[in-house]
Structure 1
Amino acid sequence: MNINATLFGQAVWFGVFIWITMKYVWPPIQKAIADRQALIADGLAAGERGKHELELAGKRSADSLREAKVKSAEIIVAAEKRALQVIEEAKLAAKVEADKVVVAAQAEIAQATEHARAELRSRVAELAVAGAERILKREVDAKGHAEILAALKQEL
């Protein structure tokens, strides 16, 4: 056999093989490679989006935490103000009650003083009558001299 014919036959069959490969085998391989590249690109893009969303979620959670701290501080301040207000209201109510008690006590003292004065007047009147009896050495008629005794009570 001739080496040139063999080389030529092998070259032709190699060309046919390349043509069949390029026509029927290569397009599905190219499609599979393109699909795989698209899948990888989508995966990388999704990873970047996830990373970005994670950063945004971290920022949102930090903002929410900051807001919660501010709101809790406001609530605490409001509670402290309310507590002070309740204390002031209690003090005012206690003062009003104390004033009522003082007024009632003063009224009671005034009433007791007036009662004591009235009793003292009657006792003084009795003592005056007893003294007048001793001085006059006779019995003074209390009913008969009621006007004089009433005037004496008023003077005392």
Structure 2
Amino acid sequence: MSITGTLIVQMIVFLILVWFTMKFVWPPITAALDERAKKIAEGLSAADKAKADLAEADKKVQVALASAKDDATKRLADAERLALQLVEEAKARAASEGAKVLAAAKAEAQQESVKAREALREQVAVLAVKGAEAILKREVNAGVHADLLNRLKTEL
């Protein structure tokens, strides 16, 4: 064969190979490449969406954290105010109870003072009668002189 015939046969074989490759090999390769590019694009889109969601969630967390801090601060202030109020109420009750105890103690002291005066008057009256009896050297009848003794008690 001549070089031209060989060249023509090689050209025909090359064209058949190109046609076969374009018909049967190239479409699955391009489909696989297109699918791969689509998956990569979807992955990048999902990553961007996840970043946006993360940023939004971070903002929500910051807002919730600030709200929780404010709520905690308010609750703490309310608790402190309530504690101060309870302390003030307890002080007022203690002062009231102290005043009641003091008044009761004063009343009891007054009663004891009156009882002591009465007892002292009784003793003075008895001593006066005994003294008068000793001076007069005779017995004084207590029944007869009861009015006199009562007046003496009142004067003392």
TM-score by length of 2: 0.84
Aligned equivalents of 2:6, 2:47: Cα separation in 1: 56
1:53-78 CA-partner distances (Å, limit 9, x unpaired): 22223222222322222222122112
* C-alpha distance in 1 between matches for 2:48 and 2:97: 72
Per the alignment, residue 32 of structure 1 pairs with: 32
Deviations 1:122-146 (A, max 9, x none): 2332344345446655443322111
Please name the residue that 2:17 is paired with. 17
Unaligned runs of 5+ in 2: none
Task: Please list the CA deviations of residues 97-123 of structure 1 after superposition, one character each: whole Å capped at 9, or x if unmatched.
Answer: 212211210111111111022122223
Amino acid at match of 1:152: L
Alignment of 1:31-110 (within 5 A): 31-110=31-110
Percent identity of paired positions between Structure 1 and Structure 2: 47
CA drift of 1:92 comes to 2.1
Deviations 1:3-61 (A, max 9, x none): 44333333333222222211111111110111110111111112212222222232222
Q: Which stretches in structure 1 are left out of the alignment for 5+ residues?
A: none
For residues 140 and 28 of structure 1, the distance between their equivalents in structure 2, rounded to whole angstroms, comes to: 150
Tell me, yes or no, if structure 1 residue 143 matches structure 2 residue 143.
yes
Please identify runs of 4+ aligned residues in structure 1 that moved more than 6 A.
none
Across the aligned residues of Structure 1 and Structure 2, the Cα RMSD in angstroms comes to 2.1
CA distance in 1 between partners of 2:117 and 2:5 (Å): 160
Bigger CA drift: 122-131 or 70-79?
122-131
How many residue pairs match? The answer is 156
SS at match of 1:94: helix
What amino acid is aligned across from residue 126 of structure 2 in structure 1?
A: E
Structure 1 CA distance for aligned equivalents of residues 6 and 51 of structure 2: 61
Alignment match, 2:155: 155
Q: TM-score, normalization: structure 1?
A: 0.84
